[in-house]
Chain A
């Protein structure tokens, strides 16, 4: 009987995870299991609650991406009540989403991923941490803090709250933007864009090129992808149709409210977390490393793969360079970090675009809603993947059924496969050390679970 190597907690990821690596008698990897804490009972808890309260309640599901839940819930509320928010309201929702995402992507790259790369994956944990970054790159660290704090301040100053937002409501948003606010925010947005441009240049020159061997080897799996695109195939974080791409690059498009026709939900006895899978790709899910069935990924690498193009010019240039180097679909797991920074650029560019649009200051920000029986699916691309809120309301406007699939959950099967691949590649004959275990962690951190 072999032994079990536990990595607990997995440091610097956005959730609470542990990895169990099961070794056989010869000390080689027999199996691995990634356990991620999940929020249970939410769907039952919200039954009977007013639809218009949902965007405020759901912010408490996740402390890391409250804006994503806030907006997905608002969109589900729009659909339940059968209303379309005015254009300015949609633009303000998009603006808040983009600013929140710029802060989030900076957080992930500099604070969660960078210690592995700037200090080195083999370095001792005592220095391979966020404070180690301060010593390794002090000037950059100062700028990161400045711009991350700026995104939080913008959100709080305009929307009232950065952490538990109350800004978006079914039918629109709760306040318009003044011209003075637009001008002030535009000035800040240009600073965010400049730093985003610097960040991807810095990463390409100092991280991705330097660690290409690790990128080509660690956690690599060949599975499918899911993400939102517009009708012409452009990557969109707020709205669009869902595109599910097979490992060979062929894909199906479908409306978000048809997700149940395409996505199944599997359970395993050893995990609280669900395992969504592609229903139409055969008898899945099969989490076999050599022949996975039904397994797909979400989050930035998936979005970069499924889209035909980016929405903004600088991000499009980066996508073209990325595809020249890695093809489409790109399957290397550590490319999540690269894809995340291409998205960072789109978010920052789109922030400026939105603030240069005079319609964003329109006072028409809300469409009146009337309680009714209905179903609403709100789908956005959260930083960690496709986020689906699916509500049904009764004639009093109260929730009668809810179903949620969050970004990290989509990636559950794929993360387990990547962990298994990394562990099998690195642990041989019972030989492992902290550096090896950290590399297994790196395969998880790329997904930003």
Chain B
């Protein structure tokens, strides 16, 4: 799969730690997509766990850049309903939120903002509002978040079918 990283114009990355309850939302969405949907040939979908930073670094420096990156993640925002699926604009993530954006072991927001500002990649951060992210290890999504998985998958399928780029990739430079 990772061999196709620079060859696919649409990349879907499920992010999160499956050991921490609802933080495993991203990987769960990836698994559901793979099991229940036929994805277009120009889409690469990967469970990145907590490893996405390496890949974002590589993409940021590569000549071959995708058209679109869809990050699927868990979020904790006080004004949202538990299980609500929504987009976070990369540039709209408040500075104070960059640290507690999720329980991940990586501050990927910095790199996402660099990618957004300095390249022409269309970046979508699709998240679901968590119900339970435990302080200590406890795998498994809450029922609320489990129900949100199919909603997120439907949204993703709309992204990848209605906005599907025709070219395999372009050398976009900066």
Nearest Cβ on chain A to B159's Cβ, whole angstroms: 23
Q: Which residues of B contact A157 (CB under 8 A)?
A: 3
With the chains together, A333 CA to B67 CA distance in Å? 41
B110 within 8 A of A: yes
Q: Is B86 an interface residue (CB 8 A)?
A: no
- Given known contacts A39-B137, A44-B136, A64 and B53 CB-to-CB distance under 8 angstroms: yes
One digit per residue, 1 when the CB lies within 8 angstroms of any chain A CB and 0 when it does not, for chain B 57-75 equals: 1101111000000000000
Q: In the bound complex, do residue B135 and residue A60 qualify as a contact, i.e. CB atoms below 8 Å apart?
A: no
Q: Is the CB of B2 within 8 A of A153?
A: yes
**Which of A11, A59, A64, A162 contacts B2 (CB under 8 A)?**
A162
Contact status A149-B19, CB under 8 Å: no
Assess the A153–B48 pair: CB atoms within 8 A.
no
Complex interface: chain B residues within 8 A of A103 (CB)? 54
Cross-chain contact A63 with B105 (CB below 8 angstroms):
yes
The distance in angstroms between the C-alpha atoms of A163 and B17, with both chains bound, is 13
On whether the beta carbons of A131 and B137 are closer than 8 Å, the reply is no
> Are B174 and A131 within 8 A (Cβ)?
yes
The answer to whether A40 touches B60 (Cβ under 8 A) is no
In the assembled complex, B147 has its CB within 8 A of some CB on chain A: no
B68, chain A: closest CB distance, angstroms: 18
- Are B53 and A144 in contact (CB-based, < 8 A)? no
User: Do residues B2 and A60 form an inter-chain contact, with CB atoms below 8 A?
Assistant: no
C-beta contact mask, A291-326 vs B, less than 8 Å → 1, else 0? Answer: 000000000000000000000000000000000000
A156, B114: Cβ atoms closer than 8 Å: no
Q: Find B49's partner among A11, A16, A148, A163 (CB 8 Å cutoff).
A: A163
The answer to whether the Cβ of A77 comes within 8 Å of any Cβ in the partner chain is: no
A162 partner residues in chain B, CB cutoff 8 A: 2
Do the beta carbons of A18 and B51 come within 8 Å of each other? no
List residues of chain A with CB within 8 A of the CB of B18.
Answer: 60
A327 at the interface (CB under 8 A from B): no
Q: Does A63 contact B58, Cβ atoms closer than 8 Å?
A: no
Assess whether B111 is in contact with A130, with CB atoms less than 8 Å apart. yes
The residue on B at minimum CB distance from A35 is B99
B161 proximity list for chain A (CB < 8 A): none
Q: Give the distance to chain B from A180, nearest Cβ to Cβ, in Å.
A: 17
Per-residue B-contact encoding for A7-43, CB less than 8 Å = 1, 0 else: 0111110111010000000000000000001011110
Q: Which residue of B lies closest to A134 (CB)?
A: B61
B45 within 8 A of partner (CB): no
Contact B58 A148 (CB under 8 A): yes
Whole-angstrom distance between the Cβ of A131 and the nearest chain B Cβ:
4
A409 at the binding interface (Cβ < 8 Å): no
Cβ of B138 < 8 Å from any Cβ of A?
Answer: yes
Q: What are the interface flags for B101-120 relative to A under an 8 Å C-beta threshold, 1 for contact and 0 otherwise?
A: 00111110011001100110
List of B residues within 8 angstroms of A12 by Cβ:
110
- Least distance between B19 CB and chain A CB atoms (Å): 5
A interface residues (Cβ-Cβ under 8 A, vs B): 8-12, 14-16, 18, 37, 39-42, 44-45, 59-64, 66, 103, 107, 111, 129-131, 133-135, 141-142, 144-145, 148-149, 152-153, 156-157, 162-164
Report the 8 A-B pairs with minimum CB-CB distance, sorted nearest first.
A41-B136, A63-B50, A63-B51, A45-B137, A9-B107, A41-B137, A131-B118, A141-B61
A-B contact pairs, 8 of them (CB 8 A): A10-B107, A14-B105, A15-B105, A41-B138, A60-B50, A107-B57, A130-B57, A134-B61
Given contacts A131-B115, A134-B60, 16 further A-B pairs with CB under 8 A are A9-B107, A15-B105, A45-B137, A60-B17, A60-B49, A61-B19, A63-B50, A64-B106, A66-B51, A129-B114, A130-B60, A142-B61, A142-B63, A145-B62, A149-B6, A149-B62
